[in-house]
Amino acid sequence: MQPFRIALAGNPNSGKTTIFNALTGTRQHVGNYAGVTVERKTGRLLVDGLDIEVVDLPGIYSLSSSSIEGKVASMELQETKIDLILNVLDSGNLQRNLYLTTQLGELDIPMLMIFNMADDAKKRGFVFDMAKLQRFFGAPIVETVGHTEQGIDELIATIAKMLRGELTIKRLPFRYNKAVDEAIESLTDKIAALDGKDEIKVPPRYLAIKLLENDSQVMELPFLEPLLPEVNELNLRLNALTGLESDILMADCRYGLIAGACREAVTVKKNNRREISDSIDKVVTSRLLGVPIFLVIMFLVFAFTFNCGAPLCDLIELAIDSLANAIDSLWSDDWMPFLKSLVIHGIIGGVGGVLMFLPNLLLLFTAIAFLEGTGYMNRAAFVMDGFMHRFGLHGKSFIPMLLGFGCTVPAVMATRTIESHKDRMTTIMILPLMSCGARLPIYTLFIPALFKQPWRPVVLWSLYIIGIAISLIAARILKSTIFKGDDEVFVMELPPYRMPTLKGILFDIGERTMAYLHKAGTIILAASIIMFIVNSLPVKPGCSRAELAKVKETQGPKAYAKLRLEAAQYTIGGRVGFLLAKPMSLAGFQDKDGNPDWKGSSALIGAFAAKELFVSQLAILNSVDDAHDDGSMQLKDKLAQQYTPLSGFCIMLFCLIAMPCIGTVAVVKRETNSWTLTLAQLAGLTFLAWFTATVVFQIGSLF
């Protein structure tokens, strides 16, 4: 027997995802809709012998094809078998939420209305005449409080009754005004008579209304083409009668319908009650205090993340080192030495270097999930919108940019909260310019080695500021060219403050953590193996690991260092480094004598796998012995002898702007669903890095 399929539909911040989690628990699957970047969640609900697939549609305000989310939701409802729609509404903001309800009702699919956040509605003094509302919308109503799971048992029982056909409420067609109703009925009759109507799973009346709204998705249907001239005449007639364009007219009719229903069935007992949320918002979203409060909260988040995470990161690093040492002691150097080195240095070293930061990310995800659950993150985006708007960005772009200082991968994933496709793509394109935590080891290596104490904080600060400045300029350019279009109106829902539930936070953390572990277990693993091979093969005759160890033991460190350098030059990475050295020397990759720096150029290959690998690659190519505790000091001394401060700054500048790491490339491809944009970002940032570093170095050399 085929499982039943039910779809959750509702406005953003209506608590739809909370209801979805309560219904499906851990039986969830997360992916993307084919061909688009919109997230697709499905789950399973088993009740009274019924096997039910639950589809969580994107949060939408209407079934309009003007947004990618609305288009995806429309396609899911119109082109797949849906047995029941669960329309989740914020019962404290009913009039706004019911706009989508009127559109869902036109689909003639059985519908169950969920008045969620019933506790908030009660506190605000709303009283509902459920019998009238059920008759008007032709759907049963269940009240819930999603974050406490109040009403969920009644909801599940009602779902089972409706799927068995034990509970139905007849819905009469919505009536708007005489002229609009006549136009709808005329088109409905003509659509019903067309050949090809049976291929579409929606009723003719729904198509008629969509034609009057000039919905592009419906107007492109081939079998409706003969009706388009008549649709145009009807729209001209309605415009002459009402003075409104057809799409605006239909919206006006829907809101009039909703206003009438609410006037009959909704009363408010506490009109003058000032809510706690409004009182708090007067402070946290004020022009004077909003930004300082936000900065303090973010400072506390990062302090919590790194201070509490440091000991846990040290424990993971110790465990990884212990694992590597154990394998080293148990695995004989004589048996498959290359494979041994690949496992210890390539796989454990590469993947372990990423997993070491997992506690930081877990704590960051926890803090962000808590702030999102309370409703504060929406306020933060609202506070920053004015500044971001000057550069063509959305207020919601600020949160991913902030996360980008930690890691670009979760920052790119965080752009899913941005409804506008163009704003989201613009944000994704500029996120690698945020100076992520993986670049910090590069800065902390070069700055102490090449700059005196008073200048060190200034240089570090300038790198972060340069990244922010370039990202904002790039955003302005992108919004004026590739992603040109009218600026989206910033409509930010400000839900009431509430205490998030532990279950909700754990779901959020679990999704983000699994995505990160998936990256570590696939992309980083593959990249680590590839980079190990690139920097190990081919092996120069006389430079095998056993022969290097013998030279070190018999001839001393100097002979060993010389031979190790020759071995590095002989590898694929070394040879590529020599090819890159000349053009990169223009950008500052050169020693004090002006000779091209093949070592730094070669280390950039490792930086593509993960920015942190730039430091370890430099250590290897400069023959620093990692076995000594003072390995870091050895490398800094060598850099001080090799580079000028200007060269060092330009190298850091290049690493700041240049190609995103391979993990970022993969997640950008997944989120944009476009190799063109992904490769354009990779090539564009790399060229921009070379050009910027070249200009800075050449001008700086004049002084």
pLDDT band at 626 (very low <50, low <70, confident <90, very high): very low
pLDDT at 515: 66
Quote the distance between the C-alpha of residue 336 and its chain's center.
42
Tell me the average pLDDT across 556-582: 83
What 3 state SS string does 132-191 have? Answer: HHHHHHCCCEEECEHHHCECHHHHHHHHHHHHHCCCCCCCCCCCCCHHHHHHHHHHHHHH
pLDDT in tens, 443-468: 888 888 899 888 888 888 888 889 98
Q: Which contiguous run of DSSP H or E holds residue 389?
A: helix 376-389
Answer with the residue of higher pLDDT: 500 or 193. Answer: 193
For the chain, where do the domains classified as CATH 3.40.50.300 start and end? 4-164
pTM higher than the cut 0.85: no
Amino acid residing at 426: T
Give the model confidence (pLDDT) of 462-516 as tens digits.
888 899 899 999 999 998 898 886 555 455 556 667 777 777 678 777 776 776 6
Asked if omega into 596 is within 30° of 0 (cis), the reply is no
Tally the residues of the chain: 703
Distance, in Å, from the CA atom of 398 to the CA atom of 390, rounded to the nearest integer, reads: 13
Start-end ranges of CATH 1.10.287.1770 in the chain? 178-268
Q: Kindly report the average pLDDT of the chain as a whole number.
A: 82
Q: Is 575 left (phi over 0), alpha (psi -120 to 50) or beta?
A: alpha
DSSP, res 197: G
| CA separation for the pair 685, 234 (Å, rounded) | 51
pLDDT over 50 at 624, yes or no = no
- CA 182 distance to own-chain centroid: 45
Q: 178-268 in CATH: which number?
A: 1.10.287.1770
Average pLDDT over residues 139-153: 92
Do residues 174 and 180 make contact, with C-beta atoms less than 8 angstroms apart? no
Helices then strands (H, E): number in the chain? Answer: 33, 9
Supply φ then ψ for residue 590, to 5 degrees: -150, 155
Superfamily the domain 4-164 falls into: P-loop containing nucleotide triphosphate hydrolases (3.40.50.300)
Which position has the higher pLDDT, 150 or 67? 150
